[in-house]
Every structure is written in structure tokens, then in C-alpha cells.
Amino acid sequence: MTHSDLSDVQIRVRALESALVAGGHVDPAALDALVETYEHQVGPHNGARVVARAWVDPGYRERLLADATPAIAELGIRGRQGEHMVAVENTPDVHNLVVCTLCSCYPWSVLGLPPVWYKSAPYRSRAVADPRGVLTDFGVTLGADVSVRVWDSTAEVRYLVIPQRPADSEGMTEDELAARVTRDSMIGVGTL
């Protein structure tokens, strides 16, 4: 990428990084390791793998719903903020929505960095007071016969929504299925 291909934000980030490294405040190897971790080891691609496995492997799905933390660990996914996981499953009759009303408890190792809106006071309060309104804001319209369950994450428990498998996904590989799963669907503000 040439200098002219960089956005203003990218140029500022590079300048800040250079100043911090030059001043001895940041070790470039530590920074590279941190970036590597968040690009490849944590993130919503991990949660998508969990969901896809649950869709294709009924035994795994049962283990995930019974005790999510060890089931997620079966896929090699462990780490900070990923302990004490609970998986909840969307069905034709129930849609699940996750919020942290006190702060922003979020399963980083499974879903990556929390989106800004997840930490915002309006989301945190409206998700409890008006969950259907929040879902509508995100483009999710549910029938009146579908109940909405709101799950409040805490330091002791974090939630992963298992969205409904798309009807048109029969015959897809696990990797193809994982590519269809979005972070928002695993929080419950999306369907896929």
C-alpha cells in the first residue's frame, strides 16, 4: 500500500505508531503480536465456526447448549472474556438478544472487539425496555408470535446467540456456513 492509498485515519495511526516506537513507549514486536492476535486469533470468525459446527453436528450442538465454555474450547477457542459462556438458540418461536446493562461484558475471544453501539447507553437501556424497537432499528422484523428473550451479560456469564440456520444452506460445507454467520446475528441484532 503506498502512502497515497492510505486514508487520513491510517496516516494518523502510522504517525502515532512511529512516534510511540521512536520514543521507546511501544515495542514494535509487541504491537505486531497484538495486531496478529486480533486479526487471526480472536474475532467473530471464531463464533461463526462455533455456530457452523452446531448447525452440522447435532452432538456438538447439544454440548454447546448444555455447557458452552468447554464446547467452544473443543474448537481451540479460549481466552480472556470467553469464560463462562452460555449459548442460546434462536428458533421459529424465540429470538434471543444479548446486552450488558451495567457496562460492556462481551465474549472477546468468540466475537472479537465489541462494537461501539454495544457499549452505548441507548442500546443498553433500550435493549431491555424496547427489544423489538432495537431489533427494528437493526432491520430485524419479527412476527408478533415470536417471543424475544433478552440476556444480560455480566462478568460471570457471557452469551452467544446461535442464529437459525438459513433454509437455503443444505449441502453447504462447514466453512461455507461459517462465512454466512455475522457478528450481529451472534449478538441477536441480526438474523444473518
Q: Write out the catalytic residue numbers.
A: 100, 103-105
Rg (Cα) of the chain, in Å, rounded? 19
Is 147 annotated as contributing to ligand binding? no
Counts for the chain of helices (H) and strands (E), in that order: 11, 4
Is 7 annotated to bind ligand? no
Distances (CA, A) of 135 to 75, 123, 158: 30, 10, 20
Residue 109, marked binder? no
Cβ burial 137-160 (10 Å sphere, 16+ → b, else e)? ebebeeeeeeebebbebeeebbbb
Cβ atoms 89, 162 nearer than 8 A:
yes
Would you say 169 and 96 are in contact if contact means Cβ atoms under 8 Å apart?
no
Question: Does 100 carry a binding-site annotation?
Answer: yes
Binding site residue list: 100, 103-105
Residue numbers in the known binding site for Fe(3+) are 100, 103-105
